[in-house]
């Protein structure tokens, strides 16, 4: 009887315990030659500094992201991205400085480059071509696109939506 009671109590304990987290803790620094040749693989989050000599990718990034091609996954980006190409698959918050800046989802902050893109942009885009699906803010460039809700769908020099 004691054995059966012990088994039942252990079963109840196992059912009520929270699951063990398999998530990895964020890493403070990452250096990449070209993904996957980087200190920490792309499924790691980085909170600190990341240096991408050619191309680096991590699931999320918070801090300073420098390199030729900086790619952040769906976990999103917060901080400063400075490179030739900056890509964020998730939300981006902060500053993107580069030739090409892609914010695949929400972009909150400032994009400066030849081509800037965001799905929903809350902030300021300065470049030759600026592209936002929807926007709350200002675009200055040769061509400025705000597909939905902008002052104009496409307009040269300046476009806005407030």
Q: How far apart are CA 105 and CA 92, in angstroms?
A: 8
Of the candidates 127, 155, 123, the residue with the CA atom closest to the CA atom of residue 140: 127
Structural domain spans, the chain? 24-90, 104-162
Q: Please write the tens of the pLDDT for every residue from 131-141.
A: 999 999 999 99
The whole-number pLDDT of residue 24 equals 81
pTM: 0.85
Q: How far apart are CA 80 and CA 82, in angstroms?
A: 6
């Amino acid at each position: 009887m004691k054995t059966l009671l012990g088994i039942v109590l252990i079963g109840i304990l196992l059912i009520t315990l929270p699951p063990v987290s398999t998530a990895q803790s964020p890493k403070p620094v990452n250096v990449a030659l070209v993904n996957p040749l980087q200190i920490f693989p792309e499924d790691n989050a980085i909170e600190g500094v990341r240096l991408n000599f050619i191309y680096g990718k991590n699931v999320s990034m918070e801090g300073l992201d420098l390199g030729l091609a900086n790619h952040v996954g769906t976990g999103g980006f917060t901080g400063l991205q400075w490179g030739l190409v900056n890509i964020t698959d998730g939300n981006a918050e902060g500053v993107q400085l580069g030739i090409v800046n892609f914010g695949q989802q929400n972009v909150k902050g400032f994009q400066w480059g030849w081509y800037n893109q965001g799905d929903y942009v809350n902030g300021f885009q300065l470049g030759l071509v600026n592209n936002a699906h929807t926007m709350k803010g200002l675009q200055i460039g040769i061509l400025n696109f705000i597909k939905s809700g902008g002052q104009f769908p496409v307009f040269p020099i300046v476009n806005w939506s407030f």
